């Protein structure tokens, strides 16, 4: 069923929901799902509403136009998505395939409603996997020298622009993104970190976990910012391990957590279920 | 902070939220929390709204009066709770104290906002525990003969009426309630069953679980109906066990699950977070 | 590292471990892992020991020969596996691919140490997926008439014999196996059932779960016996759902549980970590 | 049933289990449970065996004597506990009672087999709770000045010596122990930290978690060393929270995790299920 998804962030005050739902009701709009959150610290209000497209007398552009005066009155940042216009997701990968294979599987199985115009990788290893799924594979090696690196990311910028990418997913992509690359994409690059952040940020988290002797390992899906491993957290989960598990076995168990956490995070993003709240997220699952 | 909690169930149609929030906004009411659910099968709509009491120009009676025409228009079943008027909870127990002790602890610690006018038990064993918490202990033994049983439950009905009980919690109460006792209290008697229903309904669920060789055990908090172990489920949880755990060890592990599941269920009930949807529940946690 | 895995089941009495480990030590055998369980109900004792192959002066046949007198003394049922001789696993599937795709992925990724001589399916749908993994796909349609059914399973018996299959995994195979097919394969056919057994045995478990209004769904990996959904349970797990999840969404969430539970169960089987104890299992994870 | 629990740590080599179980079998000893672990990094071997007391012809002293030559041969650190001699546990508390109340409840319910000679607190608040359980309450206020602090801990040392304490449990005790107090008690002081270490070490972990926007909170039970929050981890667990949970609500949810994690850790300690492995632990649950 085609739906319009309206997401709103604005300063909290009396009457926001009444104004928004009043407008929708006056247009005959049928609401499928709605969720809201008022953050007492920041004073911000967050709202997400799914409207049945066919219940409105017009399309998303007219809905936007009709909504503008409400938005202005309350000082809203807002967005309307149309489920008939799938988001365009570019997956970034390196050599490890567990997250990439999982996302491609879920996409093929219809669990992730999006287009995947291409996969960008800095190694050739995963070409076969990607192409078997009918997805274009673009290998952009990243040299170690600053100039080579800059050139590589410029190439990737070109690809992203040409492919009109809405979202980037780092599916265990083993290159640090330049700050400039992140700057204009706040809330549009999703990463999976293989630890329960803020524990074990940085390199080799399973090794760190093994050394510390923790009894659970985890994974964290977050939006990427210029501060590595510091971006707004979208989703996390943990699994039990014990003294008998080597760092290698933690990696194996952890791969399952990474897959699930990243898939949940991306699914929520595609459905506009995640709103940024400063360095944190509001998630309406 | 004093709040009014409005819960609504009605046939789904366009404009419900707009009408309700519009009314609240027109009164200057500040909404703290709101959650809704449309059940596509039953066509019913469920809504829960927390309003800051001080944001309204009047009290709960006037709010009710103001709300009546909206309610009538949409054919709503509805209820307004005032957080300054705590619900009155009567706990029923027998000999096992793990759930009772846990609820009394949480009540004393301020986690359960309610009054507990008394505990009713069919044995004397837990008198000290109850009285140490400053709660009246009423022992009503239940004889095995039908007449004795009828008389005992008549006594309990008297106590409940006198104490103006809003809710009954069966904290491992080992007597089957008469159908007549349940009939007028749909959604107002909460039980904890020591299995993951519908598995292992009936007696000795840990023993049944041990015999079947399951790898997880669970507990189920549900509203009581005349059909034993068949009432609407409020909350469930599970814990891992293994081949080395005897039925007795399952009981020990299970007690923790029972405590947590019952406490969550009661807490949600006290905050009007549970709405009945036929034989199921809608829970806004 | 090559290992021999010795598994033993015998009546419990004093001195079993001493006799077994004494023999191994006398041969210079280095033990990597050992686990044991005494079942107080059945009086049976269960033991699993991993021995470093290179620490012994000879191969698995000589180890078996050396072990025979100990085995006889204690009335042991026992088995020695050689990790250099991977088990031969035949996967059965129908149209749904989530479990099959997951097992093939894990096999390709090295998480499942086994040979997969072929996949047998009663539909053609998954041929591409299987063949892309370099595995032979054998389509054996199963007719509805008793004779056709008998003929189909006779064909499958032939394939299994020719392929020298050690284990069969029903990866959401939607045909009921004939009793004769199961009879000689106790502990060698693994199934995944998409509910937390014994809840919701039989058909359409997610639909049943939805109707009952449970708050968690689950999956169960078990050995197949002639009694449908009654075989010894190997592994189970659950996931939280809520009133907003349709039966279809439960299926989606459930697929993740099914995949994980089946993969864990098969992995343990391949490593000889599961011993039968009547209608139950002993699992040394 | 009375049991002797033998725990062993020694350099790994061939024949340890054979020697130990051989000796036990030669004495007619019946083994109820056994578990072992070889740490490939440290080269250490860990063993725990439960022996039925009545199956031996003599008591624990003779068992120790009989065991000495085996221990010497393999360079073992070892210990024999007698389940008829419960460990003596002194609980330390301050003002928050959730962990203390839980441990006292479990002790009274028979879940924790130990003696509790007294509770030591630096405030009077919890006297009633403790004394209702029939346990002596010793209030030892701790001044802020170094001298006052030293004197207070000297008093506590006296109490511990007089009460012959085997184990100290810091049940949310809000004083930092002097290094000298910890030094001689490695593996004998158990603390509960209200975060999933190493995340949010130090003060106000729920506040830190709230600020960071994590999606799970946790608790950690660990042995105390002079390095605050750095001791060997015994047990951890996590619970899901979301954007709607304030730091205060995280504290409430977290209290349940703390209780469960501390109770599990202490139970394992009382049953000699935890062996130190440098800065980590081996736990045989």
Closest by CA position to D156, among listed D171, D168, D174, D144:
D168
Contact A252 C33 (CB under 8 A): no
* Chain C touched by A101 (CB under 8 Å): yes
Residues of chain D with CATH 3.30.70.260: 3-82
**pLDDT tens per residue, range D26-64:** 999 999 999 999 999 999 999 999 999 999 999 999 999
- Measured in angstroms, the CA of A285 and the nearest CA of chain D are apart by 10
**From A98, A109, A260, residue closest to C98, measured CB to CB:** A109
Contact C21 D25 (CB under 8 A): no
- Measured in angstroms, the CA of C14 and the nearest CA of chain B are apart by 19
Nearest CA in chain C to D240: C240
- Measured in angstroms, the CA of C21 and the nearest CA of chain D are apart by 5
Q: Is C27 exposed, middle or buried (0-12, 13-18, 19+ CB in 10 A)?
A: middle
* Chain D touched by A281 (CB under 8 Å): yes
CA angle B69, B73, B75 (to 5 degrees): 110
Report the DSSP beta bridge partners of residue B89: B167
Catalytic residue among D229, D242, D245, D256: D229
pLDDT number for residue B228:
83
Closest by CA position to A89, among listed A157, A165, A162:
A165
* Chain D touched by B113 (CB under 8 Å): no
What residues of B are in contact with residue C243 (Cβ under 8 Å)? Answer: 37, 39, 277, 280-283
Chains that touch C (3 or more CB pairs under 8 A): A, B, D
**Largest Cα–Cα distance in chain B?**
63
Q: How many CA atoms lie within 13 A of C49 on its CB side?
A: 26
* Chain C touched by D14 (CB under 8 Å): yes
Catalytic residue among B12, B39, B125, B229: B229
**pLDDT tens per residue, range C100-137:** 999 999 999 999 999 999 999 999 999 999 999 999 99
pLDDT number for residue D275:
98
**From C243, C277, C280, residue closest to B281, measured CB to CB:** C243
Closest by CA position to C171, among listed C258, C276, C63:
C258
Asked if D54 contacts D83 with a C-beta cutoff of 8 angstroms, the reply is no
**From D18, D26, D35, residue closest to C24, measured CB to CB:** D18
CB count, 10 Å around CB of B238? 23
**pLDDT tens per residue, range D68-122:** 999 999 999 999 999 999 999 999 999 999 999 999 999 999 999 999 999 999 9
Alpha carbon B7 to its chain centroid, in Å, reads 15
pLDDT number for residue A174:
94
Q: Find which of C202, C211, C215, C225 to mutate to test the B interface (most B CBs within 10 Å of its CB).
A: C215
Residues of chain D with CATH 3.40.50.170: 87-283
The DSSP H or E segment spanning A91 is: strand A87-93
What residues of D are in contact with residue A218 (Cβ under 8 Å)? Answer: 216, 238
pLDDT number for residue A228:
83
Q: What is the DSSP letter of C66?
A: H
Token pair for residue D16?
């340890």
Token pair for residue D242?
């979301």
Q: Find which of D256, D262, D284 to mutate to test the B interface (most B CBs within 10 Å of its CB).
A: D256
Closest by CA position to C236, among listed C265, C208, C272, C216:
C265
* Chain C touched by A132 (CB under 8 Å): yes
CA atoms of A7 and A17, how far apart (whole Å): 12
Average pLDDT of chain D, as a whole number: 97
Nearest CA in chain C to B198: C199
* Chain C touched by A155 (CB under 8 Å): no
Q: Find which of A210, A216, A278 to mutate to test the D interface (most D CBs within 10 Å of its CB).
A: A216
Asked if C165 contacts C115 with a C-beta cutoff of 8 angstroms, the reply is no
Catalytic residue among A82, A97, A115, A229: A229
Contact B22 A24 (CB under 8 A): no
What residues of D are in contact with residue C33 (Cβ under 8 Å)? Answer: 38
Alpha carbon B271 to its chain centroid, in Å, reads 10
pLDDT tens track of chain B, all 285 residues?
999 999 999 999 999 999 999 999 999 999 999 999 999 999 999 999 999 999 999 999 999 999 999 999 999 999 999 999 999 999 999 999 999 999 999 999 999 999 999 999 999 999 999 999 999 999 999 999 999 999 999 999 999 999 999 999 999 999 999 999 998 899 999 999 999 999 999 899 999 999 999 999 999 999 999 988 899 999 999 999 999 999 999 999 999 999 999 999 999 999 999 999 999 999 999
Query: What b/e string do you get for A161-173 counting C-beta neighbours within 10 Å, with b at 16 or more?
Result: eebebbbbbbbbb
Give the pLDDT band of residue C228 (cuts 50, 70, 90).
Answer: confident
The DSSP H or E segment spanning D169 is: strand D167-170
Alpha carbon C221 to its chain centroid, in Å, reads 8
- Please give the C-alpha separations between residue D200 and each of A110, A217, D212, in angstroms, as whole numbers: 39, 16, 10
Alpha carbon D55 to its chain centroid, in Å, reads 29
- Measured in angstroms, the CA of D249 and the nearest CA of chain A are apart by 13
What residues of D are in contact with residue C35 (Cβ under 8 Å)? Answer: 35
What residues of C are in contact with residue D1 (Cβ under 8 Å)? Answer: none
**pLDDT tens per residue, range A39-68:** 999 999 999 999 999 999 999 999 999 999
* Chain D touched by B256 (CB under 8 Å): yes
What residues of B are in contact with residue C283 (Cβ under 8 Å)? Answer: 215, 242-243
Residue with tokens 């510390």, as numbered in its chain? A212
* Chain B touched by D131 (CB under 8 Å): no
**pLDDT tens per residue, range A93-138:** 999 999 999 999 999 999 999 999 999 999 999 999 999 999 999 9
CA atoms of A16 and A155, how far apart (whole Å): 44
Class of domain C87-283: alpha beta
Report the DSSP beta bridge partners of residue C37: C46
Asked if C158 is an active-site residue, the reply is no
Average pLDDT of chain A, as a whole number: 97
pLDDT number for residue C54:
96
- Measured in angstroms, the CA of D211 and the nearest CA of chain C are apart by 26
What residues of A are in contact with residue C98 (Cβ under 8 Å)? Answer: 105, 109
CA atoms of A239 and A68, how far apart (whole Å): 46
CATH code linked to domain C3-82:
3.30.70.260
What residues of A are in contact with residue C248 (Cβ under 8 Å)? Answer: none
- Measured in angstroms, the CA of B283 and the nearest CA of chain C are apart by 7
Contact B252 D98 (CB under 8 A): no
* Chain B touched by C218 (CB under 8 Å): yes
Which residues lie below 8 Å from residue D169, measured CB to CB, with a gap of 6+? D89, D90, D91, D92, D103, D189, D190, D191, D262, D266
**pLDDT tens per residue, range C13-59:** 999 999 999 999 999 999 999 999 999 999 999 999 999 999 999 99
What residues of C are in contact with residue B260 (Cβ under 8 Å)? Answer: none
- Please give the C-alpha separations between residue A198 and each of A143, B125, C257, C267, D237, in angstroms, as whole numbers: 30, 48, 27, 32, 16
What residues of B are in contact with residue D105 (Cβ under 8 Å)? Answer: 101, 105
* Chain B touched by C42 (CB under 8 Å): no
DSSP states along D201-266? -SS-HHHHHHHHT-SEEEEEEEE--SSTT-SPEEEEEEEE--TT--HHHHHHHHHHHHHHHHHHHH
Contact D111 B252 (CB under 8 A): yes
């Amino acid at each position: 069923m085609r739906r319009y998804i309206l997401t709103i962030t604005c300063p909290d005050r009396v009457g926001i929901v009444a104004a928004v739902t009043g407008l929708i009701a006056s247009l005959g709009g049928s609401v499928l799902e709605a969720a809201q959150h008022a953050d007492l610290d920041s004073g911000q209000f967050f709202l997400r509403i799914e409207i049945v497209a066919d219940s409105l007398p017009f399309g998303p552009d007219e809905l936007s136009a009709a909504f503008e005066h409400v938005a202005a009155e309350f000082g809203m940042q807002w967005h309307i998505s149309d489920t008939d216009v799938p988001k365009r997701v570019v997956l970034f990968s390196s050599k490890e395939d567990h997250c990439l294979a999982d996302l491609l599987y879920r996409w093929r199985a219809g669990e992730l409603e999006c287009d995947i115009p291409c996969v960008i990788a800095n190694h050739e290893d995963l070409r076969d996997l990607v192409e078997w799924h009918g997805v274009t594979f673009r290998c952009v090696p990243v040299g170690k020298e600053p100039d080579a690196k800059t050139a590589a990311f410029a190439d990737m910028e070109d690809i992203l622009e040409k492919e009109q990418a809405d979202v980037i997913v780092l599916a265990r992509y083993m290159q640090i993104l330049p700050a400039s690359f992140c700057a204009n994409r706040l809330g549009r690059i999703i990463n999976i970190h293989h630890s329960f952040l803020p524990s074990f940020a940085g390199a080799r988290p399973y090794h760190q976990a093994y050394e510390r002797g923790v009894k659970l390992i985890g994974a964290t899906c977050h939006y990427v910012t210029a501060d590595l491993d510091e971006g707004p957290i979208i989703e996390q989960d943990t699994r039990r391990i014990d003294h008998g598990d080597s760092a290698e076995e933690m990696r194996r168990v952890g791969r399952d957590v990474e897959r699930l956490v990243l898939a949940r995070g991306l699914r929520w993003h595609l459905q506009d279920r995640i709103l940024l709240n400063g360095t944190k997220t509001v998630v309406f699952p």
